[in-house]
Amino acid sequence: MTIIICALGALVGLVVAVVCRKLALPMVLRSQEAHTREGNVRILGIPLREMTIFVYRFVFPFVFAVVGAVAAYRLFVGDLR
């Protein structure tokens, strides 16, 4: 039962990450373009736009899935000390 609860929490986290990518990413990219002068800001040699898209596409789903699983476990299984 614990694995099912954690899996459902991770699924909710993934859904939140996908919605965040669909709704927030375009606004973030527009904001970056408006606030950078030349548009050639680089982080570790990678353009800022590409790094932002990478984070929203790959890092956020992983983080949100882990947080969702932990939150579901704490909410439904874990004891609150």
Q: What angle do CA 3, 6, 12 make, to 5 degrees?
A: 140
> And the tokens for 22?
């669909």
Residue that is written with structure tokens 């990478």 in the block: 54
Segment 60-76 mean pLDDT? 93
Amino acid, res. 40: N
Is residue 62's pLDDT more than 80? yes
pLDDT tier at 80 (50, 70, 90 boundaries)? low
Which has more pLDDT, 78 or 75? 75
Return the H-helix or E-strand segment holding 43. Answer: strand 42-43
